[in-house]
Amino acid sequence: MLAYVASRLGQAAITILGISVIVFALARLSGDAGALLVPPEATPQERQDIRDALGLDRPLPVQYGIFLKGVVTGDFGKSFRFGEPALEVFAKRFPNTLQLAAVAAVVALLGGVSVGVLGATHAGGMPDRVITIIALLGQAVPSFLIAIFLMLIFSVNLGWLPTSGKHGTLTYIMPAVSLAWYSMAALARMTRSSMLDVMETDYVRLARLKGLPESRVIWKHAFRNALIPILTLFSLQLIFFVSGSVIIENIFAWPGIGQLTVQAIFSRDYPLVQTIVLVTSSFLVLLNVGVDLLYAFIDPRIRLT
Amino acid sequence: MTQEAQGMPQSAALGPRPRTAVARTWNRLRGMPLLPLAILAVVVFAGIFAPFIEPHDPDHPDLLRNLQPPIGFGGAWSYPFGTDSLGRDVLSRLIDGARISLFVGLAVVIGAGGLGTLLAVVAGYFRGAVDVVISRVTDVFLAVPFLLVAISVVGALGASTQNLILVLVFMTWSGYTRVLRGEVLRIRDADYVKLAQVAGCGSLRILGRHILPNIVNPLIILATLQLSAVIIIEASLSFLGLGVPPPQATWGGMLSAGKDYIGVNNALVILPGLAIALTCLSINLIGDWLRRVLDPKFRAL
Amino acid sequence: MASEANTSPLLEVRDLHTHFVTRSGTARAVDGVSFTLNRGQTLGIVGESGSGKSVTCMSIVRLLPKTASRIAGGQVLFKGRDLLTLSEDEIRAIRGAEISVVTQDPMTSLNPVYTIGNQMEEPLRYHQHVRSGNQLHERVVGALRQVGIPVPERRVRDYPHQLSGGQRQRVVTAMAIECHPSLLIADEPTTALDVTVQLQILRVLKEVQQNLDLGMILVTHDLSVVARICDDVAVMYAGRIVEHAPITEIFDRPRHPYTQALMLAVPKLNASRERLNTIPGQPPDVRRLGSGCPFVPRCPKATERCREEYPPTTTVGESHTVACWEATS
């Protein structure tokens, strides 16, 4: 088990290193990294100082070394727009995004799984058909569209929910539902098909033959086995909850990193953009390691390999 | 019991074979998603022939006729879907948006699908160090919060259709590689491939005759899935102002502009919203059907 | 031989009909099956796959795929109660407690994510309301010991994938007997196992059957398995019992052409011929049965009468019945 944890952490480290290469390369892709990484209002002297500090006139591997050293020591450069270290600006906003993502993840998981199980246990019946339609719509309607329609209905027409900002429980509802929408539909479909597969296995049949109540057969014997593909999908969706915040936060003026990213891009604050992408990605990679360890807990067969 | 339930003899379990050509065609059509195919056909037709069927110049503003409602809500036949805040014809812009959505969608699917398949085949067929490197890089790309990176790249490079396509190709090939590599590995271990090797077939011949034909089905399924995803992403980025730059009409851009007129002219968000939803829904339904027809194993993909 | 001195039989199946509804017609998977079984007696049900033997057993415990199948008629009297008229809760209380099933494939019958002990405790908790951990442990270990699992105290903490196929089948058997059922249904219990392990499992089944004085139904397509442990044999073809007789009788004097063909298909270890005798032709499609005998297309002795009319079940010897015109005349 310890070896498994170690190997997963090792893989995560490689992945994060890979992401750092991508982020590093991004600034250089546009041709002149200096144009992105040096504040537009800098004097020629300041400009040269920053170029020297970042090694922009030296070979790419050296530049990467300097970049990596900065990352490891927590120095991501200064945000042009805020005049503070980019990491601090990020750290102030990140919790807001996490809170929203967490609420959305819970909504998606609970909603998707319960809807999916309901569909599987009533396969072919009315609930199943309704669920299939909802799931299909979920995957075809982009989250920003849902956000706009929710706003149209609940804020503009009914006046029940506030349109923007983060102040109190009510303001969570629309952003969280919009953000959860797509994942919920995907999880519902996956849960349904995974449960249907498991319900046909011999061990579920044996559980019935043992005379167990149907609820016990479904939740103890079938569901736990159906959980692995569901969790796999969910762990892939975790990225989406943070990524998708880019759009949702901008619609609902949610003060998280999604809004911050777009602000940073439009004000050409590239050090901040780099920081957001790298730190957020690393966070998600580590989160996935956590999910993998959870698998090992759910399915004993994984512990051995 | 399940075995017993299916235990009717194989030939009979397949059902009676249709006797006439008409019956066979009907059997095949019965499972086909006709409505989604029809909707997609309309969108594709609109996209291809956009310049010829648009009733107005989609980018020509006419401030004197702005914010007109669609017909049925007080609008006139000259602007069947009404006009936007700058007086541009909504129908023409929807048609133009179809063109852009399809163009970006297909370009990305071809680019990412091609790159992803190539890497999958190389990794799965030659294995060894090449495979390790490709698999690790694939993992990295799969782990990246793709939308975040995509918008920051577009931000760095500047928004343009070309940059959008390049970024999306660069960020999405990994999905193809992950799935197809497994397929290639599996096929390569199949007995008939080993036989071909023993018989002295060269790598190219094995790739062309045995491996590629066998990954076409999953590839088609993946591509269908990605097409609707790309259309949604393009719309999302254009909605944020980081996709295809204005004044080019895009569904996402129309939504973004229209959301300021919620309550004034709701058609400005409902119509492009419907266009996106119907198109993606149709593609997904066709994709589901293809999955059923081509490869039941990919049901849960 | 069977102890036939008892008063009422343990299980009496009367004219059971089970149908599967498919898109291309209704399949009469079980088409008028009747038999009785006493305590302490073992009945072998033999037939090709698709003959309805497993469906018969699953109809007894009423566990058929919900959507496609229904029990269309007949009675299943278990200790005098008709199981087909019980409520869902009542039949559930009987499953796994009074009637247990040993399933076909031990590799897939145990839930991979729970320990052996956990899975074995369930029937005890649900049927006998055993709550105390110690008692549960003891009962489970006892049942495992009964089926010949070495060091059962340690096995209860194992997961199924840590056990061999033979051991898993022993576990499934132990799970079936731990609530002290009076009827044990073994549905092709050895089909998925190696030949050497098959013999061990058969011995275990025979042992527990004798020790607990169980009525047992053994479903198989293999007559040599039947020969080892059964008292009576029922041969099924296309959803009906075509011949039913005590074991020695059926091996000495098979009357139905299908039974005779099955006998020839049994590989004889001392036979000089290497080639296995198989029965020519295909089993019939049970969705398209006419009024005649379904074995006609494969039957060497078929006559015009066989084509037109299904033969009645007639008694041809002591407890020996057969449904064949040839045997009747």
Query: pLDDT at position C214, please?
Result: 92
Instruction: Read off the pLDDT of each residue in C269-285 and give the average, rounded to a whole number.
Output: 59
Residues 69-98 of B with CB under 8 A from A: none
Q: Is C102 within 8 Å of chain B by CB? A: no
> Which chain A residue has its CA at the smallest distance from B271's CA?
A145
**Contact between A207 and C111 using a beta-carbon 8 Å cutoff:** yes
**Contact between A212 and C122 using a beta-carbon 8 Å cutoff:** yes
Q: Which of B2, B142, B299 sits opposite A200 (nearest CB)?
A: B2
Q: What percent of chain B lies above the pLDDT cut of 70? A: 85
Residues of B within 8 A of C24 (CB-CB) are 15-16
**Of the ranges A27-41, A199-213, B159-173, C283-297, which one carries the lowest mean pLDDT score?**
A27-41
Helices (H), chain A: 2-29, 33-37, 44-54, 60-72, 86-121, 126-140, 143-150, 170-199, 202-209, 214-216, 224-243, 245-252, 257-266, 270-298, 300-304
Is the bond preceding A39 in cis, omega lying within 30 degrees of 0?
no
**Min Cα–Cα distance to chain B from C60, Å:** 12
Neighbours of chain C (3+ CB pairs under 8 A): A, B
**Is the model's pLDDT at B6 over the cut of 50?**
no
Instruction: Read off the pLDDT of each residue in B14-21 and give the average, rounded to a whole number.
Output: 52
Residues of A within 8 A of B236 (CB-CB) are 142-144, 247
Query: pLDDT at position C14, please?
Result: 92
Neighbours of chain A (3+ CB pairs under 8 A): B, C
Instruction: Read off the pLDDT of each residue in C165-191 and give the average, rounded to a whole number.
Output: 90
Q: Is C20 within 8 Å of chain B by CB? A: yes
Query: pLDDT at position A62, please?
Result: 81
> Which chain C residue has its CA at the smallest distance from A123's CA?
C67
Query: pLDDT at position C244, please?
Result: 94
Q: Which of B4, B10, B30 would best serve as a mutation to test chain C binding (most C beta carbons within 10 A)?
A: B4
**Contact between C122 and A205 using a beta-carbon 8 Å cutoff:** no
Residues of B within 8 A of C50 (CB-CB) are 4, 7-9
**Contact between C92 and A210 using a beta-carbon 8 Å cutoff:** no
**Is the model's pLDDT at C273 over the cut of 50?**
no
**Is the model's pLDDT at C35 over the cut of 90?**
yes
CA distances to A30, A262, B157, B244 from B152, in Å: 12, 8, 9, 15
Count contacts between A and B (CB, < 8 Å): 148
**Is the model's pLDDT at B263 over the cut of 80?**
no
Q: Is C111 within 8 Å of chain A by CB? A: yes
> Which chain A residue has its CA at the smallest distance from C178's CA?
A210
**Contact between C126 and A212 using a beta-carbon 8 Å cutoff:** yes
Locate the domains of chain C by residue range: 2-98+181-328, 99-180
CA distances to A1, A12, A220, A283, A302 from A6, in Å: 9, 10, 31, 17, 15
Q: Which of B101, B137, B148 would best serve as a mutation to test chain A binding (most A beta carbons within 10 A)?
A: B148
Q: Which of B255, B284, B299 sits opposite A140 (nearest CB)?
A: B284
Query: pLDDT at position B30, please?
Result: 64
> Which chain B residue has its CA at the smallest distance from C20's CA?
B5
**Of the ranges B126-140, B219-233, C1-15, C294-308, which one carries the lowest mean pLDDT score?**
C1-15
Query: pLDDT at position C83, please?
Result: 92
**Min Cα–Cα distance to chain C from B221, Å:** 28
Locate the domains of chain B by residue range: 33-296
**Contact between C54 and B1 using a beta-carbon 8 Å cutoff:** yes
Query: pLDDT at position C141, please?
Result: 94
Residues of B within 8 A of A288 (CB-CB) are 143
**Which DSSP symbol is given to B69?**
P
Residues 163-182 of C with CB under 8 A from B: none
pLDDT digits (tens, 9 = 90+) for B211-220: 888 888 888 8
| Architecture of the domain spanning C2-98+181-328 | 3-Layer(aba) Sandwich (3.40)
Q: Which of B132, B152, B225, B237 would best serve as a mutation to test chain A binding (most A beta carbons within 10 A)?
A: B152
Locate the domains of chain A by residue range: 1-81+268-305, 93-266
Q: Is C66 within 8 Å of chain A by CB? A: no
* Chain B residue set in contact with C, beta carbons under 8 Å: 1-5, 7-9, 11-12, 15-16
**Min Cα–Cα distance to chain A from C308, Å:** 40
Residues of C within 8 A of A209 (CB-CB) are 61, 63, 95-96, 100-101, 103
Q: Is C55 within 8 Å of chain B by CB? A: yes
Q: Model pTM greater than 0.90?
A: no
Query: pLDDT at position B9, please?
Result: 37
Residues of C within 8 A of B15 (CB-CB) are 23-24
- Taking domain C99-180, whether its CATH number is 3.30.70.270 is answered by no
B300 pLDDT band, cuts 50/70/90, is: very low
pLDDT digits (tens, 9 = 90+) for B74-118: 767 677 777 777 778 778 888 888 888 889 999 999 999 999 999
**Min Cα–Cα distance to chain B from A1, Å:** 22
Please write down the HEC assignment for all residues of chain C: CCCCCCCCCCEEEEEEEEEEEECCEEEEEEEEEEEEECCCCEEEEECCCCCCHHHHHHHHCCCCCCCCEEEEEEEEEECCEEHHHCCHHHHHHHECCCEEEECCCHHHHCCCCCCHHHHHHHHHHHHHCCCCHHHHHHHHHHHHHHCCCCCHHHHCCCCHHHCCHHHHHHHHHHHHHCCCCCEEEEECCCCCCCHHHHHHHHHHHHHHHHHCCCEEEEEECCHHHHHHHCCEEEEEECCEEEEEEEHHHHHHCCCCHHHHHHHHHCCCCCCCCCCCCCCCCCCCCCCCCCCCCCCHHHCCCCCHHHHHCCCCCEEEECCEEECCHHHHC
**Contact between A202 and C104 using a beta-carbon 8 Å cutoff:** yes
Residues of B within 8 A of A292 (CB-CB) are none
Q: Is C63 within 8 Å of chain B by CB? A: yes
Instruction: Read off the pLDDT of each residue in C255-274 and give the average, rounded to a whole number.
Output: 70
**Contact between C113 and A225 using a beta-carbon 8 Å cutoff:** yes
**Contact between A224 and C113 using a beta-carbon 8 Å cutoff:** yes
Q: Which CATH number fits domain B33-296: 3.40.50.1220, 1.10.3720.10, 3.20.20.140, 3.40.228.10?
A: 1.10.3720.10
The tens place of each residue's pLDDT in chain A, 305 residues long, gives 778 788 888 888 888 888 888 888 877 766 666 666 777 677 777 777 777 777 777 777 888 888 888 888 878 777 877 878 888 888 999 999 999 999 999 999 999 999 889 888 887 777 788 888 887 888 788 888 888 888 888 887 787 877 777 777 778 888 999 999 888 888 888 888 888 888 888 899 999 999 898 889 999 999 988 887 888 788 778 778 888 888 888 888 889 888 898 888 888 787 888 888 888 888 888 888 887 787 777 777 665 54
Query: pLDDT at position C2, please?
Result: 43
Residue A223's SS3 state is helix
CATH number of A93-266: 1.10.3720.10
Query: pLDDT at position B96, please?
Result: 85
C121 pLDDT band, cuts 50/70/90, is: very high
Q: Which of C65, C187, C283 sits opposite B9 (nearest CB)?
A: C283
Average pLDDT, chain C: 86
Name which of A130, A116, A143 is nearest A245 in CA terms: A143
Instruction: Read off the pLDDT of each residue in C111-125 and give the average, rounded to a whole number.
Output: 91
B20 pLDDT band, cuts 50/70/90, is: low
Structure tokens belonging to residue B63: 């401030």
